[in-house]
């Protein structure tokens, strides 16, 4: 069970977050031994500094919630993050292009981004049909990313639909067997995290890592 903590990308993408908030998030990640810290682009250099003496990942969210910026804007944002010390890019796929079956455009965009750094691609699974989830996962694998990820905090699936998200995780894992799978959005409890892992998730993205760690500690006591 303790290994669950090692799967958590401790997330703070609050647009109102302050420097003190981000430092607190980093300190929590170090205290509980999480996998990494996921933030908005403006905080990458600070997180890289705070995590410098650890083996934790510095992670950045790029182009939420639908991946609709131009390719140049996306590349520029990713290059800045790499310069600032990021380890992993959590990039939203252009979900509209995927919906309109512009697969070459999606693939070209993601392939070039994946050359910059380890890339986890957010496909927005809650917006997609089952067939689209499978196709998106295949494109992410073909693009050379390391991971396919369910959603941002704007996932249309509600907490009562976590079983549906778990189904998506399983489909993603089966469609892209060479990739890691990251489940995120509205995962707030130890039971939520366990459900995702049991369905194939390798990484859990959540802002509730501390609460999950405390649940785990209470169980052990």
Q: What residues are labeled active site?
A: 90, 149, 182
Contact present, 113 and 91 (Cβ < 8 Å): yes
Q: Which residues are 59's β-sheet partners?
A: 38, 88
Nearest-angstrom CA–CA distance, 218 and 221: 5
Q: Which residues are 149's β-sheet partners?
A: 122, 182
Other beta carbons within 10 angstroms of residue 197's beta carbon come to 19
Nearest-angstrom CA–CA distance, 132 and 95: 10
């Amino acid at each position: 069970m303790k290994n669950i903590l090692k799967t958590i990308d401790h997330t703070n993408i609050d647009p109102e977050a302050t420097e003190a908030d981000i430092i607190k998030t980093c300190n929590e990640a170090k205290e509980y031994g999480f996998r990494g810290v996921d933030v908005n682009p403006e905080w990458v250099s600070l997180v890289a500094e705070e995590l410098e003496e650890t083996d934790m990942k510095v992670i950045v969210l790029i182009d939420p919630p639908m991946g609709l910026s131009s390719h140049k804007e996306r590349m520029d944002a990713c290059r800045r993050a790499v310069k600032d010390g990021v380890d992993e890019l959590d990039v939203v796929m252009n979900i509209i292009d995927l919906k309109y079956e512009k697969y070459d455009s999606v693939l070209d965009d993601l392939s070039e981004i994946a050359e910059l750094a380890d890339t986890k691609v957010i496909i927005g699974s809650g917006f997609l049909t089952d067939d689209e989830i499978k196709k998106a996962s295949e494109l992410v694998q073909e693009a050379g990313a390391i991971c396919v990820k369910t959603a941002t905090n704007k996932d249309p699936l509600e907490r009562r639909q976590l079983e549906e998200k778990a189904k998506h995780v399983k489909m993603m894992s089966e469609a892209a067997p060479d990739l890691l799978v990251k489940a995120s959005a509205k995962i707030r409890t130890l039971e939520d995290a366990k459900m995702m892992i049991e369905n194939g998730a390798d990484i859990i993205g959540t802002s509730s890592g501390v609460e999950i760690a405390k649940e785990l500690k209470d169980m052990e006591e």
